[in-house]
Amino acid sequence: MTALSTAALPHLSPNPRGERFPALGRTVGNKPLIYLDSAATSLRPEEVIDAGCAFCRLHDGNPHRGLHTLSAEATAALEDTRVKVAGFVGAPSGDNVVYTKNTTSSLNLVARGLESRLKPGDEILITEMEHHANLVPWLMTAKRTGATIRYIPVDDHGRLVLDALDELIVERTKVVALTAVSNVLGTINPVEQIVRAARSKGALSVVDAAQAVGHMPFDFSALGADFAAFSAHKCYGPMGLGFLVGRADALELLDPLETGGDMIEYVDFSKATWAPVPHRFEAGTPNAGAVVSFAKSIDFIENIGLDEIRAHELEITAYALESLRALVGLNILGPPTAAERGGLVSFTDPVVHPHDMATILDEQGIAVRAGHHCAQPLHRKLGLAATTRASFGVYTERSDIDALTAGILKARKVFAP
């Protein structure tokens, strides 16, 4: 397997990727930027940036609010992109796509929206590897409704323990919520198997797809889930835009999380009724400029091809695992093979604390993430306070991994000369 060709990424000295991805043309201190934090936010290609700027310059009307040309153009762009997003993730139609702020707001919408349908004795099943965005909302929903949280455990290799799945998903189980790809361990979970088990017991399934969409093939309809959530900023798109994708009948089950302008059908001084799905969940003025630019993100991804993107991340991840394992004493979290992982590797060093590691790497122009990655319970289970995470995108090359390993060795020399 070979890495994704960078022939399509025009050369800009000193960094050959900097013309397509402007951030990669800059320096940090006096070092060229090496960006290994794509699991947090992926960099945007030039055409995505340009699309957002063009909207702000020429079409900055309020969608769904006016009869004038700018408003009509903004409305058309918003709804055209909704249909495009549906095609991108395999949803039946644009009506299955709700615009939100990010994955977190999408998951909060589902958790809060289902509260009127939960009661004491009901159970919500999640995994021990969840990001706080797919953990805390369910904790709060359980507290408000009297429902009980149960967990699918994680084994020592970062895989879900599914031997007792039939005992975990029972008639009392009303919701099963899980991540498609762990943002700490990198584990690609058997989502389809778990979704199928949930459906067999009448439970709704919710998938946090933030680390999957845009990085590997993802087909919502084929998956069979009731809901899936993801963010534009992890798919070479803008911050401040997320998506909740839902089956039509599942979306009808949700109560709106926010109320106000544009989500109503009728209001008087004593009552209100809601607009049809998906608009009932989109109170207030949307981030239309981000929506327009994300349409270009989809074009960027589809022009490369998700199979090709996945193959590239797989190759880079395999090389990273091989390189990091050569560093004596380094503890690498998650499954041992790249095939079981998304494009990220988290690790701890026996000499250097993760925060110190990230600081010293940054001095060398290398951007990584350090901390608990919004997954404190998982880190506690693993007996760790923090880890260092390197994560990859279409612009990541083997030379970036070589720089990372050299940077780790330099950090060791600082703390253990």
CA distances from 44 to 22, 35, 259, 384, 391 (A): 8, 12, 32, 32, 15
- Determine the longest span between alpha carbons in the chain, in angstroms: 73
Is 152 buried (19+), middle (13-18) or exposed (0-12) by CB count in 10 A? Answer: buried
Side chain identity at residue 54, one-letter code: A
Is 381 buried (19+), middle (13-18) or exposed (0-12) by CB count in 10 A? Answer: middle
* DSSP string for 291-314: HHHHHHHHHHHHHH-HHHHHHHHH
CA distance 162 to 146: 26
Is 416 buried (19+), middle (13-18) or exposed (0-12) by CB count in 10 A? Answer: exposed
From 53, 56, 235, 374, active-site residue: 374
Confirm whether 56 is a catalytic residue.
no
Residue 35's beta-bridge partner residues?
Answer: 367
CA distance 245 to 110: 10
Q: Which residues of 163-189 are buried (b: 16+ CB within 10 A; e: fewer)?
A: eebeebbeeebbbbbbbbbbbbbbbbb
Side chain identity at residue 74, one-letter code: A
CA distance 355 to 371: 7
**Edge-to-edge strands of the sheet including 173-179?**
97-100, 242-246, 227-231, 204-208, 173-179, 123-127, 148-152
Question: For 273, how many CA atoms within 13 A lie in the half-sphere containing its CB?
Answer: 3
The answer for residues whose C-beta is within 8 angstroms of residue 61's C-beta and 6 or more apart is 68, 69, 70, 71, 72, 73, 74
> What positions carry a catalytic annotation?
374
